[in-house]
Chain A
Amino acid sequence: MSIATRRLALAGIGILLGTALSACVAGVGYDGDVGVGYSPGYVEPIGYDYGGWGGGYRVGPGRGGDRRSAPSASHAYRAAPQSRSTPSIPMGSRGGGSHGGHR
């Protein structure tokens, strides 16, 4: 095999490897941090209890203006001022005028 042929072959291999490596590294390319795999596959630990809610246990939203707990300075969070009315979920219809949440 001549030197020229060998150089040609090596150049070909180089181009192919370069293409392959760039495909591996760059993914789909958006900001350099894309396309290395979609992995939302977190699943919860098994064997835990759900439910068991007592009679007065409430998780739902109110209708707005629900009664607040007595003011307390011991919360880890900053409670909204007592003057603020408890909001509701949005109550307007899709694409239709007022959203109607309690403010």
Chain B
Amino acid sequence: MLVNRVRYLIATGAVGLALCAACVGSAMAGSFDPPPIADQPSTEHHVGKVIWAELVTPDLAGSERFYAGLFGWTFRDLNSGDRHYAVALLDGEPVAGLVQHLVKASDKRQPFWLTFLAVQDVDAATSAAVGHGGKVVVEPRTYNSRGRQAILTDPQGAVFAVIASYSGDPPDYLAAPGGWIWSSLLAHDADTAAAFYQTVFGYEVFDLENDDGMQHVILSTDNYARASVNTLPADSARRHPHWLNFVRVADAADAATKAVALGGSVLVPPRVDRHGGKLAVIADPAGAPFGVMEWTDADSKEEPK
């Protein structure tokens, strides 16, 4: 009799423990807490500034090798359950995030760099975006260390994220080589795209003359240029609106050559741009596009040809 009671208690206890362990394990695996975007918190807020970029890649180790070789980034690996994440560091400071995400060939998808724009209120920005034709890809969500963020698309389909960072927004300074210096949105209709982002982020919009007649506008907050909006070239039907982020380099041609040697490819060969330095667009070995851009002293700037 006593033996039966003990067996009964052990059996029921074991079932309960198993259920508990399964649920806790599931919660832990799904509750990866992305790190803050800065190790040293700032009290500054710069709505509309690109303050973070995150690479979704099927090969985290391969991506780390590529970006370490190209920009000298080092990495802080954070693994939680089945989630593998790495913080890329430039001179010891966080500069980007890399997320491992399996991309099956049947998915017909490719890795890319997700652009994070600073906001004060993620929910208000999301509502404004949706109210003006945007869509929600990932609903607003709060993370313990990082803050609140959401992933959205604009009305033309370009994907971006909005973030209210708990560690504040990085102060405004010129990016060092290896840091993000510029972002461009390439859209089918730059005019209405600029209007959408102006509504959501309150940008001042400056329309610039362009030699090729294509529209090129500058989005500005705090009296600083934050990003450009450009009309996508119309030479191919296989173009889709997207954000493109640029890393500052000392020499865009050298960077492009090095990228190819590391397994990447060149999408736009080095060329002189409006600011007087060269830029190029590169795809990393997994296919994620990004730009490299020189920023030379004003006195040494070349004239665009």
Contacts and interface: CB of A to CB of B under 8 A. Distances in A.
Interface string B87-100: 00000000000010
Interface residues of A, number: 76
Interface residues of B, number: 108
Interface in A1-34: 1, 5, 8-9, 12-13, 15-17, 19-21, 23-24, 27-28, 30-31, 33-34
A58 B242 contact: no
Contact of A88 (B142, B205, B208, B224): B224
Nearest to B182: A61
Contact of B298 (A15, A53, A63): A63
A18 B214 CA distance: 62
Interface string A34-67: 1111111111111111111111111111110011
Contacts of A76: 191-192, 194-195
Nearest to A103: B223
Contacts of A46: 108-110, 287
B204 A84 contact: yes
The 10 A-B pairs at the shortest CB distance, nearest first, are namely A16-B16, A56-B211, A56-B212, A35-B31, A60-B273, A76-B195, A90-B172, A37-B30, A43-B109, A20-B20
Interface of B: 4-5, 8-9, 12-13, 15-17, 19-20, 22-24, 26-27, 30-34, 54, 56, 83, 85, 99, 101, 103, 107-112, 114, 137-138, 140-144, 151, 159, 161, 171-174, 176, 181-182, 184, 186, 191-192, 194-195, 198, 204-214, 216-218, 220, 223-225, 228, 230, 233, 235-236, 238-240, 242, 244, 246, 267-268, 271, 273-277, 279, 281, 283, 287, 289, 291, 293, 295, 298, 301, 304-305
